[in-house]
Amino acid sequence: MTDSSREKEIELIQGLKTGDNDSFQEAVRAYIPGMLAVARFYLDHSSAEEAVQDCWVKVIDAIHGFEGRSGLKTWLHRVVANRCKNQLRSANREVPTDFSDILEPELAHRFNAKGRWELPPKLQFHESADTLMENGALSDCLDKHLSSLPETQRSALMLYEAHQHKSDDVCNILDVSASNLRVLLHRARQKIFLMVENFQETGEC
């Protein structure tokens, strides 16, 4: 985090502690996507949204005890994770996560017995990443495939890539081991790579 980003976060925290409504609205806009990504790792969509709403109510009171030992984003994500885990425990449920190394059928033929690419994606990088993302069809296709990923894979990918958590933080938030996180990220990236490959070759999603 840059010095300017840190200063902005400190101002936001102070605003939350004083009950400033603009600060609250800013925090909701900035952090709710990541909080939903965490909640959806543990719960179904409707339950995840309800859990996040409940967490914001808790945050209003709990923010006064926030000591800044971690970033605000990491703290909020842990609040959500704890809320969801408590809900699962009270219902005697576990997180439905598959950490096995068995690949889905659409991926299996692309890998050898050691789990390495036999037929790696033929991605064309003559265009910059920004130029590719300006392609509305590709952006829509990416959103579609991200939405279709299993929630555990999508949550891990979003927290690590989009919300830029360190791997240790993602492991703590999602309560998974480093090796399990690697499995989730590896599987999610494989599917996204193949989607981009297909789009570049056919122009279709």
Instruction: Read off the pTM.
Output: 0.71
User: Residue 159 has what pLDDT?
Assistant: 93
Cα–Cα distance for residue pair 165/172, rounded to 1 Å? 11
126-176 pLDDT, tens per residue? 455 555 555 577 778 888 888 888 888 999 999 998 888 999 999 999 999
Percent of the residues in the chain that have a pLDDT greater than 70, as a whole number: 79
Q: Nearest CA to 9 among 19, 20, 23, 22?
A: 23
The one-character DSSP state at 158 is I
Mean pLDDT of the chain, nearest integer:
82
Instruction: Kindly report the CATH number that applies to the domain delimited by 3-90.
Output: 1.10.1740.10
At the topology level of CATH, where does 106-202 sit?
A: Arc Repressor Mutant, subunit A (1.10.10)
For the chain, the structural domain boundaries read: 3-90, 106-202
Q: Nearest CA to 139 among 149, 130, 126?
A: 130
- C-alpha torsion 139→141→142→146, nearest 10: 140
**Cα-based angle 156, 159, 165 (whole degrees, multiple of 5):** 120
SS (H, E, C) 5-58: HHHHHHHHHHHHHCCCHHHHHHHHHHHHHHHHHHHHHHCCHHHHHHHHHHHHHH
131 burial type by CB count under 10 A (0-12 exposed, 13-18 middle, 19+ buried): exposed
SS3 111: strand
Identify the segments of the chain with pLDDT beneath 50.
Answer: 125-126
User: Residue 104 has what pLDDT?
Assistant: 57
User: Residue 10 has what pLDDT?
Assistant: 93
